[in-house]
C-alpha cells in the first residue's frame, strides 16, 4: 500500500495494493501492522456501512467527548469525501480537504480525531464503509452545516438530499471551543 499526505496534518490518502487478473481482484482493506508502520496506529472498534442514493449528502459530523478516527472508503459507486480540521490548536483549523473515493480507484482516507466528516454521492448509488476508533454515541454527536460559507467547501452538487438533522447544524463560528472534539483520546491504542 502507498500513503499520500494531504495538506492537513494526520489526514492521509491510502492507495491499496491491488492484485488483479481475469477473475477479478483482491486487496487488503486493513492490516493492523502495515497501517501502524504508516503511522496509522488506531485500533478500530466499530465498522459501519451506509447505502445512499445519488445527490445524498451526509455530514459534517463529529463526536465531542469521544472523538473518532475513521478509515473510510467507497465500496460501490463514487462519493466526494470531505474532512474539515476542527482542532482548535491546529494551524489548519477550519480548512478542508476533499477527495473522490470510488469502487474504481479503491482509495481509502484516514481521518484522525479532531475532524468533522461528510460525503456526497456522485454515482446513482454508493455503499460507503468506515472503521471507527471509538463507538458511536448519539448523545455525543454534533456537526457543522455542510454549506457553511466560511468553510467554502467546493461540493460538486448544489442542492443535496439532506437529513433534517444535517440541515440544522450550526456554522463552525457558532461553536465554542468546549463544543469541539477534545482531540485524540489519552489511550493511543484507541
What is the full per-residue pLDDT of the chain (190 aa) written as tens digits?
899 999 999 999 999 888 888 988 787 787 788 888 888 899 999 999 999 999 999 999 999 999 999 999 999 999 999 999 999 999 999 999 999 999 999 999 999 999 999 999 999 999 999 999 999 999 999 999 999 999 999 999 989 999 999 999 999 999 998 999 976 543 344 4
Tell me which of 3.50.50.60, 2.60.40.420, 3.40.50.300, 2.60.120.10 is the CATH number of domain 2-18+40-177.
2.60.120.10
Q: Rounded to whole angstroms, how far apart are CA atoms 138 and 150? A: 26
Q: Which residues are catalytic?
A: 61, 130
Q: What is the model's pTM?
A: 0.91
For residue 76, give Cα distances in angstroms to 87, 107, 110, 125, 127. 31, 12, 18, 8, 5
For residue 123, give Cα distances in angstroms to 74, 86, 113, 179. 11, 29, 28, 34
Amino acid at each position: 500500500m502507498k500513503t499520500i499526505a494531504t495538506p492537513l496534518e494526520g489526514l492521509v490518502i491510502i492507495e491499496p495494493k491491488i492484485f488483479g487478473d481475469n477473475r477479478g481482484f483482491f486487496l487488503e482493506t486493513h492490516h493492523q501492522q502495515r497501517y501502524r508502520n504508516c503511522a496509522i496506529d488506531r485500533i478500530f472498534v466499530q465498522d459501519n456501512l451506509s447505502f445512499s442514493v445519488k445527490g445524498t449528502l451526509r455530514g459534517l459530523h463529529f463526536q465531542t467527548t469521544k472523538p473518532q478516527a475513521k478509515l473510510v472508503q467507497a465500496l460501490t459507486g463514487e462519493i466526494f469525501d470531505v474532512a474539515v480540521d476542527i482542532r482548535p490548536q491546529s494551524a489548519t483549523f477550519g480548512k478542508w480537504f476533499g477527495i473522490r473515493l470510488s469502487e474504481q480507484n479503491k482509495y481509502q482516507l484516514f481521518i484522525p480525531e479532531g475532524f468533522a466528516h461528510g460525503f456526497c454521492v456522485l454515482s446513482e448509488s454508493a455503499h460507503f464503509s468506515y472503521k471507527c476508533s471509538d463507538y458511536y454515541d448519539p448523545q455525543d454527536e454534533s456537526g457543522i452545516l455542510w454549506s457553511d460559507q466560511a468553510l467554502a467547501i467546493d461540493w460538486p452538487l448544489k442542492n443535496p438530499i439532506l437529513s433534517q438533522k444535517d440541515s440544522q447544524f450550526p456554522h463552525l463560528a457558532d461553536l465554542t471551543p468546549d463544543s469541539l472534539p477534545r482531540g485524540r483520546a489519552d489511550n493511543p491504542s484507541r
